[in-house]
Amino acid sequence: MASTTMQMLETYPAEIELDRRMLAEVIDALKDCAQTCTACADACLSEPVEELQNLTRCIRDNLDCAEICTTTASVLSRHTGYDANLTHAQVQSAIQATKTCGDSCDEHRDTHEHCRICAETCRSTEQALNGLLPHLEPSGKGAQRPGRAAPQQGR
């Protein structure tokens, strides 16, 4: 069964110049990564108090990654008035966030299972984003997709 994300992309009435299946997979990976990072940060906060100082950076990176992944999934879900430069920059930001969080969680993978799971999720999401990035090449300021009208300014 197709994901809700894929179902929504299939019902979009205008042209989407990206492969819809790939786009849906990336959006779903971002949403999964955001949830995993949020849960990992929460699990870190539940560790014994003497370990919290060692987990501070991991918690911060988890929360940053969760927010950036959520925002990126939202940006990739919107196609009306598409701005290639903004989308490209947002995906680059998500790549950096998933790399940073994956590295941070990886440092704790041997002692905290939730960090191992989160590191793996961040790595797979980073890989999916890197696969999408070449298809989002911006060209010029406020680049729009060819054949796509800019949003109308009043009537």
Over residues 21-66, the pLDDT tens digits come to 999 999 999 999 999 999 999 999 999 999 999 999 999 999 999 9
| 151 has pLDDT over 50 | no
The overall average pLDDT reported for the chain is 90
For the segment 64-80, what is each residue's pLDDT rounded down to a tens digit?
999 999 999 999 999 88
Structural domains of the chain in order of their starting residue, each with its CATH number: 19-136 (1.20.1270.360)
Report the percentage of the chain scoring pLDDT > 70: 88
> Across residues 123-148, what is the average pLDDT?
76
> Could you tell me the pLDDT band of residue 139, with boundaries at 50, 70 and 90?
low
Q: CA 23 to CA 59: how far, in whole Å? A: 28
> Across residues 10-23, what is the average pLDDT?
90
| 141 has pLDDT over 70 | no
Q: Select from 91, 58, 85 the least CA-distant residue to 73.
A: 91
**Backbone phi and psi for residue 31, each to the nearest 5 degrees, phi listed first:** -65, -40
| 149 has pLDDT over 60 | no
Q: CA 142 to CA 28: how far, in whole Å? A: 26
Q: Output the six-digit token pair for 110.
A: 């041997």
